[in-house]
Structure 1
Amino acid sequence: MRPLHQRFNLYTDSNEAYIFVPVGESVAAQSLTIHRNTGEVVLNPPQTTHPYNARRSGKSVYGVMGIISLTLSEYIVIITGRELQGNLMGQEVYRASDFDILPLNSTLNIHNPPHPVEAHLLALLKSHLNGGAFYFSYGWDMTRRLQAQYENREKDVDRALWEVADDRFFWNRFLQRRLIEASTKQDLSGYILPVIYGTFDIRPVFLHGARMELCLISRRSRFRPGTRYFRRGVDHEGHVANFNESEQLLLVESQNLLGGATRSFNDYLHKFSFVQIRGSIPLFWAEINTLRYKPDLQIMELNDTPDATRLHLLEQNTIYGHQTLVNLVNHKGHEKPIKEAYERHIEQLNLPEVRYQYFDFHTECKNMRWDRISLLVDKVEDDIRKHGYFHLNADQSIPARVQQGVVRTNCMDNLDRTNVVQAALAKHALNKQLQDIGVLLSEKGVDDYETLSKDFREIWADHADSISKAYAGSGALKSDFTRTNKRTHKGVLEDGVKSVLRYLRNNYFDGARQDAFDLVTGAWRPRKTPGSALFLTTDPRSLFARSMPAIAAFSSFMICAGMTLPRTSDYSLFYYFVLWFTLLAISLAFIVIHGILYVSWPRLIPLTNVIYYSGPGYRSGRHGMGLSGEMSITSGKSAKYLNSGRRRAHSKAGIEEGKRVD
């Protein structure tokens, strides 16, 4: 593949241009100029010198994330900090740790934008960059699994890294749009850096004389991304929420390699890859936040639900081969309706390359009997054996094995239960791989060797925490089992704390996080007039509704003051407490009854059509919507908060969460 530049000096030519000059490369390396007035991207001829009056930045630039257009200016997003995470197949893998945002508008101060809408959008962009887990490599395609890279190795020789990247996991694909378009006339491949949003961990392992490396990579899809309650289910293109591909690599070194030497692709005697996927249940469904601990479950039976489900499953068949769908949701209570709807649609579709397997996780593993995960492994063992894994043997000209199928696991969030099951399946595959090459005897397993077992558990637990933080806002639940192979009472208490954090984040902070996802991935695109997006910085709720939290807080303060402050008279405080307890009760009752008014909803792509859906399907309740159950989030006339003017009617096929321009 064509090489990428790894480091630049940044020069600012007054108010005219930004110039990126590669560092430590041959004189033939071409610098890049982005003109601030026109936004034109120009690749300069070799040995072009920068203007004498250009000012050099004090920071090194390690990559260009791309260019994003907001309401007053376009901005170049650059990587100014990186942390080495490890060496994979002889190529260094980095985590982006710091970013700078460069405005093309020369009159705009990035730290003090002249309009509140621009300031709000910049804050969303910064929060996404600072809160994400972005990984990249200059010489290894982080977006594609090993098998896909090997199968396409011959035709990829003369292609750029961005050209071969898996479009699903090329997280900054939308930001790189301008550079990619400019590449039709000039070769900008050295500047287009694909970045994944996910996890990466690699650790050395030494067992029975074999030096190995154990690696785990997860890749988050840029299609239908978002937060726990604001992105659920499938869209009309067949993309599901929280879709992640997890690849476990086992690399066995040749015996004649020196310890500590950098390994290249050909220095490994065996290379194994085992891939699993996870994703939201591929139906149109949602959980509506109402400030209650359990949101309202809603399933929308649209006319094109079978088509969307089929699209999703067939795409996975095309990419991975046969699928085993492992469903872990509860068979009773709150989760029962979504389980039944999923099973009904899978049965109706009757796809030959898809097999459904249900496992009642909470019932089977109750009373902390987590060893019973083995029951599920036994149920899907035949499928795992048929799917196989990818195995390159240095002594053979063709792969010893290829992976012909994949296990797709889901629970409600595709986080906690899914993490435990995927780790168990990955351990099962690792045992088979080590046995195949004679490192382990057939009766032995990973858990029989504490050092190997500890590294395996920590890799998967860290992986689970990272995916959970990205989607739900806290570390994964049940991670004590992944880390220690035991479910503990301490772990249960820690899960309680994480559950509280999730509740707070999902109800009061995730609206802005969802907006940041939609902005960076291009699901929402702003107009060049900030006045068209004033709804982002205004609160459309009535003054009465906005005052309720303040009244509740002040009433609580007055009650505490009456109980704790010293008395200066003998008068009874009975009526004083009656007044403030009454106000506190009224304000809290109003907040609970009208709960959706106090949830932090996304503003860029509002969920009005989901919240007020009234077509065929199922809804567990209509809590938080007022006494009538039909309250508008926008409290009447001012509906800019959710839908640019007024609440729309809902047809049977009317759930749209696509691109929006404001």
Structure 2
Amino acid sequence: MRHLHQRLQLYTQGNDTYIFVPPDTVGAQSLTVHRSSGELVLNPPHSLPPSARRSGKTIFGILGMISLSLSEYVIVMTEREFKGRLMGQDIYRATDFDLLPLSPNINVHNPPHPVEAHLIALVRAHLMGGFFLFSYGWDLTRRLQAQWETREKDSDRPFWEAADDRFFWNKFLQTRLIELTLGNTSQDLSPYILPIMYGTFDLRNAVLHGRTMQICLISRRSRFRAGTRYFRRGIDHEGHVANFNETEQLLMVEDGATGGPVPASGEFGTQMSFVQIRGSVPVFWAEVNTLRYKPDLQVMDLPDTAEMTRRHLQEQVSTYGEQALVSLVNRKGYEQPVKEAYERYVQQVNLPGVKYQYFDFHNECKHMRWDRISVLIDELESDLKKHGYFHLAPNKNEVLQLQRGTVRTNCMDNLDRTNVVQAALAKWTLNQQLKALGILSNEGSIDAYEAISKDFREMWADHADAIANAYGGSGALKSDFTRTGQRTNKGAMEDGVKSLTRYLKNNFFDGARQDGFDLVAGNWVPRKTPASSMFLVTDPRPLITRSMPPIASFSLFMICAGLTLPRTSDYSLFYYFILWLVLLSISLGFIVIHGIDYVSWPRLIPSTDAIYYTGPGFRSGHHGKGFGGDMAPKTRTGTSISTKWLNSGKKRVGVSAVEEGEKKRVD
């Protein structure tokens, strides 16, 4: 593939232009961004104007451009962290960013309007809170088998064109540069278009029976239907599911029993790849936060559910081959309706090459019997052998085996139970690969070799924590089993802390995080009039709703203060405590009954279609809507105003047509 510029120097000409100069590439064309018009122009080599002033920071890549309410911005990467060397190429994580405004009147550290300040903060928080990976010489967005299959076609293609569209996280940000490249053959901006991936990367070196090897674990998060745990569930009207991740485990082995260090080139003779996928249950469902520990579960039977389930599964079959759908959703209680809806629609679409496999995780593994996961592996063994893995011969010209199918695993969140199962399947496959290479005996296992076994467990545990933090807001539950091979009481206590952390973040912080996803992904595009977006920085809830948390806090303070008062009159203190206890009880009761009004909801693309859905399906309850319950939008003054602020972001660009189409179908 064509090269990418690895380092850029930024020059400015007053408030007129930004000029990006590649210092390490001989004869390269610099890129000028005209701030007044937004025009991007490639310059002849060695044509830097004498008046240009060099900026102090080195830039390691242009992530793209984004238009907010008052200005357009160039997003650049100013710091990177080396993560390892894979296939002879360096892998980095992007760690710091700058937003360069085109408008000369904008100071990104002190924007002139609160709406612009809010939008800039959303972009910054998204960039700093994500785990973005990239390479200048190896396509991180595509699994090894896909790269090998298109190797001839890719030889002269730019990086951005070869990248997997699902995992090209900054595709929307790079729209301007891509369109200019496609629309003008004399202005090829491809060396400046750096694809980044949201995911995980871990690489460990090992020596086993004299064979030097590397084990690498990569997860790739889809940019479609991306977001946070409770605000992105299920499927959308394009067949994309929430929290879709492709996980690839690579095994590279040096030919011959050298037992020495990793080759200086980073290239290994034998290369193997095993891919798994995870994603939300592909039906229309949601969980509505109400401040209760368990949100209201909503399953929506829409007219096109079967068609969207079919589209999603067909895409997986087309991309990966046969599918083994492993469902870990509980068969009883709260999760049962989601399990039943999944099974109903999979049976209805009845696709060839798709097999459904249910595993009752909590029942099989109760009382910490986590070794019972072997039951699922036994049930899947024939599918795993049939699907196989990718095996590239040492000469790199011959494929000894292709992976012809994948296991698609999901639980309710696609985090904790899913990761335990995926790690077990990955270990089973790694053992098979090492046996095929003659490194392990037919009865051998990496469990017998503590060094490599420990690295394997840590890789999968770190991988689980990263995916869980990105989607759920805390590290993965049950990770003590992945990390140590045993389920412990200490691990159970740690899971309690993580669950509390998730509850707090999901209810009180994830609204802004979801807005960041939607803004950077292009699902919502700001208008050029900040006044039209004032709903982002104002609180239109009624005064009584806003006053309850301060009243509860002050009442609790007064009760605590009363405990320190001198006991001059127990009679008067009795009424003192009664007064503040009554106020505390009333305010807390109001907050619980109107819980929806206190959740941090996303404002760019509100969740009203799920909150107030009244069509066919299943609803576990109508909590948090006040005394009117499911009739709250029509009967309760507070909620009707709240509905207005939840709907205030409806005027949007991008997927708004999809969302509004959904609303038409529901209503």
Whether these two folds match at TM > 0.5 is yes
Corresponding position of 1:44 = 43
* Aligned match of 2:55: 57
Map of 1:226 onto structure 2: 227
Give the match for residue 304 of structure 1: 304
Let me know the Cα RMSD of the aligned residues. 1.7
- The correspondence of residues 263-274 of structure 1 with structure 2, limited to 5 A, is 263-264=265-266, 267-274=267-274
Q: 1:257 to 1:425 in 2, by over 3 A?
A: closer
384 and 631 in structure 1: CA distance in 2 versus 1, 3 angstrom threshold = same
- Counterparts of 1:615 and 1:495 in 2: how far apart (Å)? 36
Distance between the aligned counterparts of 1:216 and 1:326, measured in 2? 21
Q: Which residue of 2 aligns with 1:650?
A: none
CA positional deviation for 1:570: 6.4
Q: CA deviation at 1:397?
A: 3.5
Given candidates 145, 160, 163, the residue that maps to 2:161 is 163
Q: Is the 8 A contact 1:540 1:635 kept in 2?
A: no
Mapped contact 2:211–2:259 kept (Cα < 8 A): no
Corresponding residue of 2:192:
191
Q: Does 1:244 align with 2:253?
A: no
Cα distance, 1:124 vs structure 2: 0.3
Which residue of 2 is the match for residue 371 of structure 1?
Answer: 371
1:392 is matched with which residue?
Answer: 392
State the partner residue of 1:136. Answer: 134
Q: Distance in 1 between matches of 2:478 and 2:134?
A: 29
- 2:641 pairs with 1:642: no
Shift of 1:269: 1.9
Kept in 1, the 8 Å contact 2:3–2:191? The answer is yes
Alpha-carbon offset, residue 66 of structure 1? 0.5
Give SS of 1:441's match: coil
Q: Name the structure where helix makes up a greater proportion of residues.
A: 2
CA contact 1:640–1:646 (8 Å) conserved in 2: no
Amino acid at match of 2:70: L
Q: Would you say 1:314 and 2:318 are equivalent positions?
A: no
Tell me how far 1:17 sits from its aligned partner.
Answer: 0.6
Look up the match of 2:264. 262
Does structure 2 retain, via aligned residues, the 8 Å contact 1:605–1:657?
Answer: no
Cα distance in 1, alignment partners of residues 539 and 181 from structure 2:
43
How many Å separate the matches in 2 of 1:146 and 1:543? 57
SS in 1 for 2:105: coil
Counterparts in 2 of 1:306 and 1:378: CA distance versus 1, 3 Å: same
Unpaired runs of at least 5, structure 2: 652-657
Instruction: Check conservation: 2:15, 2:35, Cα contact below 8 A.
Output: yes
Query: Residues 645, 529 of structure 1: CA spacing in aligned structure 2 closer, same or farther, 3 A cutoff?
Result: closer
1:634–1:642 contact (8 Å) kept in structure 2: no
CA contact 2:212–2:260 (8 Å) conserved in 1 = no
The aligned counterpart of 2:506 is 506
The correspondence of residues 420-459 of structure 1 with structure 2, limited to 5 A, is 420-459=420-459
* Aligned position for 2:654: none
The offset of 1:631, in angstroms, is 2.7
Q: Name the SS of the counterpart of 1:572 in structure 2.
A: helix
2:34 aligned with 1:35: yes
The 2-side partners of 1:23 and 1:386 are apart by 50
> What's the counterpart of residue 89 of structure 1?
87
Q: Distance in 2 between matches of 1:657 and 1:200?
A: 36
Q: Residue 238 of structure 1 aligns to which amino acid in structure 2? A: G
Distance 1:362 1:293 in 2: 19
Deviation at 1:24, TM superposition (A): 2.0
One-letter amino acid of the structure 1 residue matched with residue 64 of structure 2? G
1:36 and 1:104 in contact (8 A); partners too: yes
Amino acid at match of 2:530: P
Write the letter of the residue equivalent to 2:43: N
Residue 525 of structure 1: aligned partner? 525
Give 1:395 deviation, angstroms.
4.4
Contact 1:281–1:410 at 8 Å: present in 2 too?
A: yes
Residue type matched to 2:73 in 1?
A: Y
Counterpart residue type for residue 311 of structure 1: R
- Aligned partners of 2:662, 2:130: CA distance in 1, in Å? 23
Name the amino acid aligned to 1:636: S
Q: Tell me, what secondary structure is at the counterpart of 1:597?
A: helix
Cα distance, 1:638 vs structure 2: 7.0
Shift, 1:261, TM fit: 4.2
Q: CA deviation at 1:487?
A: 0.2
Code of the residue aligned with 1:557 in structure 2: it is: F
Q: Which amino acid aligns with 1:641?
A: W
1:602 aligns with 2:606: no
Distance 1:600 1:396 in 2: 52
- The equivalent of 2:118 in structure 1 is 120
Count of matched residue pairs:
649
- Aligned residue number for residue 68 of structure 2: 70
Name 1:9's counterpart in structure 2.
Answer: 9
Deviations along 1:475-503, one digit per CA (max 9) or x if unpaired, are 00000000000000000000000000000
Letter in 2 for 1:351: L
Return the letter of the residue paired with 1:644.
S
Q: 1:154 aligns to what SS in structure 2?
A: helix
In structure 2, the residue matched to 1:462 is 462
Aligned partners of 1:654, 1:170: CA distance in 2, in Å?
23
| Partner Cα separation in structure 2 for residue 529 and residue 249 of structure 1 | 49
Distance 1:370 1:530, change over 3 A: same
1:542 maps to: 542
Distance 1:417 1:68, change over 3 A: same
Q: 1:527-552 CA deviation, whole Å, 9 max, x = no partner?
A: 11111111101111100010001110
Q: 1:381 to 1:257 in 2, by over 3 A?
A: closer
Q: Which runs of 5+ in 1 are unaligned?
A: 648-652
Amino acid aligned to 1:246: T
Aligned counterpart, 1:405: 405
Distance in 1 separating the partners of 2:231 and 2:402: 37
SS of 1:92's equivalent in the other structure is strand
Partner amino acid for 2:581?
F
In structure 1, the partner of 2:621 is 621
Question: Deviation of residue 628 (structure 1)?
Answer: 1.4
Residues 221 and 329 from structure 1, CA distance in 2 versus in 1: closer, same or farther, beyond 3 angstroms?
same
Superposed displacement of residue 640, structure 1: 4.5
Question: Is 447-456 or 393-402 further displaced after alignment?
Answer: 393-402
1:567 and 1:366 mapped to 2: Cα distance? 53
| Separation (CA, whole Å) in 2 of partners of 1:260 and 1:310 | 45
Aligned-pair identity in percent equals: 66
Residue matched to 2:291: 291
Determine the C-alpha separation between the residues in 2 that align with 1:646 and 1:239.
Answer: 21
Which amino acid in 2 is paired with 1:322?
E
- 2:625–2:639 contact (8 Å) kept in structure 1: no
Return the alpha-carbon distance in structure 2 between the equivalents of residues 654 and 512 of structure 1.
Answer: 19
